[in-house]
Amino acid sequence: MSIRLYGYWRSSASYRVRIALHLKDIPFEHQSVHLVRDGGEQHLRSYQGLNPSALVPTLVDEDEDIILNQSLAIIEYLDEKYDTGPALLPEHKLQRARVRALAYDVAADIQPLANLRVLQYLEREFDADAEGKAVWARYWIEKGFTGIEKRLQTTAGKYCFGFDLTLVDVCLVPQVYNALRFGVDMADYPLIQRIAENCNKLEAFSRAAPENQPDAQ
């Protein structure tokens, strides 16, 4: 198999790439990088050779001799390389721009704020307890979802953009999974909730779900 994905079952960014790989029906080998055990396997020298940022995911494509980090760069790469499955970035430049913007609303303005390394810092440096960390995570998720819910009022159909699956759905579903972990009340975001439910009925999304990964605990 030419594609190897280094990821972690509960990492949002790894989850996005798994969804894209399954939607596009691309076979891949899963390599677990345990983000917690022994202080985090992402800090091992062997992994840092692949990804000096010590973050997941990293995708290795042996056919092309490329090692790639950053989930969104990986997904655009896969979408450009493989014409199987849905085109996750639309053909038309205006629509493509709108899709990218909404994907970044999740991937740049929500997810980086509520991920493991940030919560660990809050605990270490600001004595945040479990509830303090959850309050922080909910704050940024809810702020982001409020804006996204408004934008979806003009774009949503069965999925975020009408009836075509896009990069936005691929980003949104892992963020909803994460929101539920922190106790966000999804009833406040009916469009996001409905779209996530529609996506989760698809086999590609359920195969990519954290609980269905070999390294799930």
- Residue 86 structure tokens: 């849905």
The residues with which 137 forms a beta bridge, in sequence order, are none
Interface positions with a copy of itself (CB under 8 A) = 51-55, 64, 66, 68-70, 72-74, 76-77, 80-81, 93-94, 96-98, 100-101, 104-105, 107-109, 111-113, 118, 121-122, 125-126, 128, 135-136, 139, 144, 146-148, 150-151
Question: For residue 6, how many C-alpha atoms fall within 13 Å in the half-sphere facing its CB?
Answer: 23
CB of 94 to a copy of itself, least distance (A): 5
Residue number with CB closer to a copy of itself (85 or 202): 85
- Residue 76 structure tokens: 């655009």
Residue number with CB closer to a copy of itself (42 or 198): 42
CB of 163 to a copy of itself, least distance (A): 21
Q: Which residues contact 152 (CB under 8 A, 6 or more apart)?
A: 160, 191, 192, 195
Residue number with CB closer to a copy of itself (109 or 200): 109
Residue number with CB closer to a copy of itself (20 or 68): 68
Beta strands in the chain (DSSP E): 3-7, 29-32, 58-61, 66-69
